[in-house]
């Protein structure tokens, strides 16, 4: 059964929730399990104290770290993330009649009382409405066939927005707008989490996935044939997360939902979502490490500018694809009478059409990895021929040059690229680095394929020879280092402090550990970038020495308490994906 087609697991023991023996035997997981027990107990106790009844389910979704394949999911190329052990937990239960009080949202169908163990996030009560477009004079029955609606405030970042985003998808996918379908039950939920927010570890995906699961569970949707598969849950969660903000790809939700303990995932999006669990070399430990933002104000400022930068990169890669499809004379548009009907084209589609394995817009671009690899190499040459400006030394092109090379007139180009949206948010962008962005995307996609191949190559988990293991780790580390340098130089999505952190991590190879020099194989930024987090590949035996080295040498960690430091730099095994815990 392909990993994405598996059902979402329902467990009744914590050991199952965190992935049983595969990771529990290892140091890092053991640590989380011990801490985890207390968190779970507290969650159940507090739920009872706040709502006056017991939770019936706990939904769990982990954060993720991307090992390699940065900023290519929205160009439809495969990526290589893993779930981390840090997670969001949501305890939930239908609200029993006995627990209805003045503050509880009453017994209104679908009403929600949401509490958070973090005291900064206050109690929220909300209920879905049905939004109809039929005007004022609406017969009562018609109200029942209108889609569900929840107000989500996009003007500021509010904690409950992610809860609502998850709920939204449940309402509209599982409570169809027909008068005979059942209505959602009133639900009480309590949220807790230890995925550091705003750090590139996808606390947002973990929130949306766990919220989606909590509302599915509370409404008993797992017990029938309606239960979604993991892949279906990913698609709902991607859709849900877009309701909160960025137009992102599907990497984060895939990792959070589909991951299996001890494995990273090769996730591809074409022809449809596919995830292949891949075991990493035995001695590999990945260490996410985030730089110290200081207070939360800095985090949210970073989030604002990063959102803008992110959307600009999406626009640049789409523009590069548009120019290349014109250059290659690809028939990407259709005609409607005398009018051209333009659409957005990804770099992956250009490659597939050029290489002759594209079949139709919907869904039939074959994922043949050998063909893909060959196509990527070809595309690198073509990008160099066409996306670089005429004059020597320059890599960027102006808006006018870009339009000229797109085969469209100005109005059409602005209408049919994401460039206009980006221009609206900042008047300053006059030049675009289409060549460097495309080069990054194609080369990064190649690195992902290589990374996958090295992990799968002989030796493997059962009979690894020391030599094999060591040289595999070296190759993986080199790919990660190269990825970082490409993110920094070509995609311009790193940050000086992140570069410092990468430098400090890599300098571990000069450190004497008592077992020889520190075995660090590679270190890179992870996630969207412009701040956030790094991930390093370190030999299992050297993890503790590595953590000490980074804590001591990274200037921004100076003066931080041990407790805060522990949430900045930590070891994690590839963890278990999302699940639902059922109280029996
Ligand atoms: P993060 O690190 O969560 O901001 C973002 C996108 C991903 C992917 C990476 C870059 C969201 C929710 N996720 O991740 O889809 O494009 O950037 O590789 O925006
Ligand atoms: Mg995110």
- Which value does ipTM take for this structure? 0.96
Q: pTM (2 decimals)?
A: 0.89
Q: How far apart (Å, rounded) are the C-alpha atoms in residues 242 and 234?
A: 12
Instruction: Judge if the beta carbon of residue 289 lies within 6 A of ligand 1.
Output: no
Q: Which ligand is nearest to the CA of 78?
A: 1
Q: Which ligand is nearest to the CA of 307?
A: 1
CA of 133 to the centre of ligand 1 (A): 34
Q: How far is CA 16 from the centre of its chain?
A: 23
Q: Which ligand is nearest to the CA of 310?
A: 1
Q: How far apart (Å, rounded) are the C-alpha atoms in residues 572 and 28?
A: 6
Instruction: Judge if the beta carbon of residue 73 lies within 6 A of ligand 1.
Output: yes
The Cα-based distances of 376 to 384, 461, 475, 552 in angstroms read 13, 30, 20, 41
CA of 45 to the centre of ligand 1 (A): 35
CA of 530 to the centre of ligand 1 (A): 11
Q: How far apart (Å, rounded) are the C-alpha atoms in residues 271 and 357?
A: 11
Residue 512 has φ and ψ, to the nearest 5°, of -85, 120
Structure tokens at 553: 């040498």
- Determine the atom of ligand 1 nearest the C-alpha atom of 202: 3
CA of 104 to the centre of ligand 1 (A): 36
Pairing of strands 57-68, 274-279: unpaired
Site to probe by mutation for ligand 1, drawn from 71, 200, 249, 491 as the one with most ligand atoms within 8 Å of Cβ, is 249
Instruction: Judge if the beta carbon of residue 76 lies within 6 A of ligand 1.
Output: no
Q: Which residues of the chain have pLDDT under 70?
A: 20-36, 101-105, 132-145, 177-181, 245-248, 288-306, 359-367, 420-428, 458-467
Q: Tell me, what's the pLDDT at 306?
A: 65
CA of 194 to the centre of ligand 1 (A): 19
Residue 370: which residues within 8 A CB-CB, separation 6 or more?
Answer: none
Q: Tell me, what's the pLDDT at 86?
A: 87
- Determine the atom of ligand 1 nearest the C-alpha atom of 205: 12
Site to probe by mutation for ligand 1, drawn from 157, 528, 532 as the one with most ligand atoms within 8 Å of Cβ, is 528
């Amino acid at each position: 059964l392909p990993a994405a087609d598996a059902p979402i697991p329902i467990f009744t023991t914590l050991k199952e929730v965190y992935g049983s023996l595969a990771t529990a035997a290892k140091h890092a997981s053991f640590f989380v399990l011990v801490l985890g027990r207390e968190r779970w107990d507290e969650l159940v106790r507090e739920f009872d104290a706040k709502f006056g009844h017991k939770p019936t389910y706990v939904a769990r979704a982990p954060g993720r770290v991307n090992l390699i394949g940065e900023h290519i999911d929205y160009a439809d190329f495969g990526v290589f993330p893993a779930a981390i052990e840090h997670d969001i937990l949501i305890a939930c239960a239908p609200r029993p009649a006995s627990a209805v009080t003045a503050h509880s949202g009453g017994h209104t169908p679908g009403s929600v009382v949401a509490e958070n163990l973090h005291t900064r996030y206050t109690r929220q009560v909300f209920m879905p409405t049905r939004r109809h477009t039929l005007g004022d004079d609406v017969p009562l029955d018609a109200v029942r066939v209108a889609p569900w609606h929840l107000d989500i405030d996009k003007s500021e970042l509010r904690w409950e927005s992610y809860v609502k985003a998850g709920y939204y998808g449940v309402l509209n996918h599982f409570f169809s707008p027909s008068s005979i379908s059942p209505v959602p039950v009133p639900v009480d939920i309590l949220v807790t989490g230890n995925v550091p927010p705003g750090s590139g570890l996808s606390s947002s995906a973990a929130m949306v996935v766990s919220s989606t699961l909590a509302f599915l569970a509370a409404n008993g949707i797992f017990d029938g044939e309606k239960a979604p598969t993991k892949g279906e849950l990913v698609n709902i969660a991607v859709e849900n997360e877009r309701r909160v903000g960025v137009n992102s790809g599907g990497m984060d939700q895939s990792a959070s939902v589909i991951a299996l303990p001890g494995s990273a995932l090769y996730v591809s999006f074409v022809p449809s979502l596919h995830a292949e669990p891949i075991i990493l070399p035995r001695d590999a430990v990945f260490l996410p490490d985030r730089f110290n933002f200081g207070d939360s104000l800095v985090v949210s400022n970073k989030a604002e500018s990063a959102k803008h930068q992110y959307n600009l990169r999406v626009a640049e890669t789409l523009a590069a694809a548009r120019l290349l499809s014109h250059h290659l004379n690809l028939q990407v548009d259709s005609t409607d009478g005398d009018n051209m009907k333009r659409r957005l084209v990804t770099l992956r589609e250009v490659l597939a059409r050029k290489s002759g394995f594209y079949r139709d817009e919907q869904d039939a671009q074959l994922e043949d990895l050998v063909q893909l690899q060959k196509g990527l190499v070809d595309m690198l040459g073509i990008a160099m021929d066409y996306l670089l400006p005429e004059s020597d030394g320059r890599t960027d092109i102006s808006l006018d040059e870009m339009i000229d090379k797109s085969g469209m007139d100005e109005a059409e180009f602005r209408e049919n690229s994401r460039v206009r949206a980006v221009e609206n948010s900042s008047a300053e962008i006059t030049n675009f680095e289409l060549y460097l962005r495309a080069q990054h995307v194609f080369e990064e996609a190649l690195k992902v394929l290589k990374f996958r191949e090295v992990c799968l190559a002989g030796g493997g988990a059962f009979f690894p020879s020391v030599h094999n293991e060591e040289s595999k780790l070296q190759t993986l580390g080199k790919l990660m280092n190269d990825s970082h340098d490409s993110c920094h130089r070509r995609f311009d999505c790193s940050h000086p402090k992140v570069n410092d952190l990468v430098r400090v991590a890599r300098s571990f190879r000069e450190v004497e550990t008592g077992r020889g020099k520190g075995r660090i194989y590679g270190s890179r930024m992870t996630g969207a970038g412009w701040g956030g987090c790094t991930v390093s590949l370190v030999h299992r035996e050297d993890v503790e020495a590595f953590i000490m080295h980074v804590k001591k040498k990274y200037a921004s960690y100076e003066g931080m308490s041990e407790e805060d430091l522990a949430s900045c730099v930590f070891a994690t095994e590839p963890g278990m994906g999302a699940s639902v815990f059922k109280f029996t």
